[in-house]
Structure 1
Amino acid sequence: MKTQNIFFRNVSKVVLVLSILFMTSCGSDDDGTEVGVVELPASLLTSYTGNLVYTPIDGSGITENNNGTATLSRSGDTYTVSFSDGVPSLTGITFITGSNGTFSSASAGSSSSGIVVEEDDLRIGVTISGSNWSFAAN
């Protein structure tokens, strides 16, 4: 029993040290730029034309259009992407700034998404509850 207590005490010390190292090492990687939710420039809130593919989980058929549209709009503090061809909208999107006027959004958990928008370009790859959205502006 005494051996188990010593073992768990040592393991907890190792976990504590590794946690402190992890937290301090993350802070030293900063390049001076603030990362946070940003407001997109009004010029990016427009319609984009491109290759649209939507695959619903219910098996009702794939929607595919080489000249599909995706319209990016703002609603309060979040953004919505509305699609042509009866494809469901993506809502509640937030963006962070990247380099050279590129803005991106990503999420994890039960959904997986990557949305990148920059001047004249919108790229979307999203999976939510088994349904998939893909869009690439021409």
Structure 2
Amino acid sequence: MQICQLFKETMDKYGIQSKELAELAGISQNHLSQFRSGRKWISPEVFAALLEGMDQLSPGSRAYFCELLAQKPLSLGQNNDSKLKEMIEAADEEEIDEILLIIGRKWKTSKQNAAIMGIYNPSLDSAIAV
């Protein structure tokens, strides 16, 4: 199966509208339609923007697409979750600082994306003490 077919399957499964996705990715709806049908290819940058936009519109859709592409599940299992916990518990002070910076950047990005999409809720900030 071609990438464009997997992409179309993911959009269909998650109910992602072409107009919204094209707008988020900064391309025309026609360009997206041509990609989905396999008539036109896109740059790696546009492809990354489409995957990011797809996941913003429907969380989990990018992971689903990647699973289709890899032809196997990519989700973390309990075994990986416990390994992650063990790694964090074994981390030294410098590694903890780095982990917290990564989490902070992720939090900031998710707040910015939520604000752009109009779903940001400032009351969430008060629930987290930093």
Band the TM-score falls in, shorter-chain normalisation: under 0.3
Relative to the length of structure 1, the TM-score reads 0.18
Task: From the two aligned structures, give the one with the greater helix fraction.
Answer: 2
Q: Whose radius of gyration is greater, 1 or 2?
A: 1
Task: From the two aligned structures, give the one with the greater strand fraction.
Answer: 1
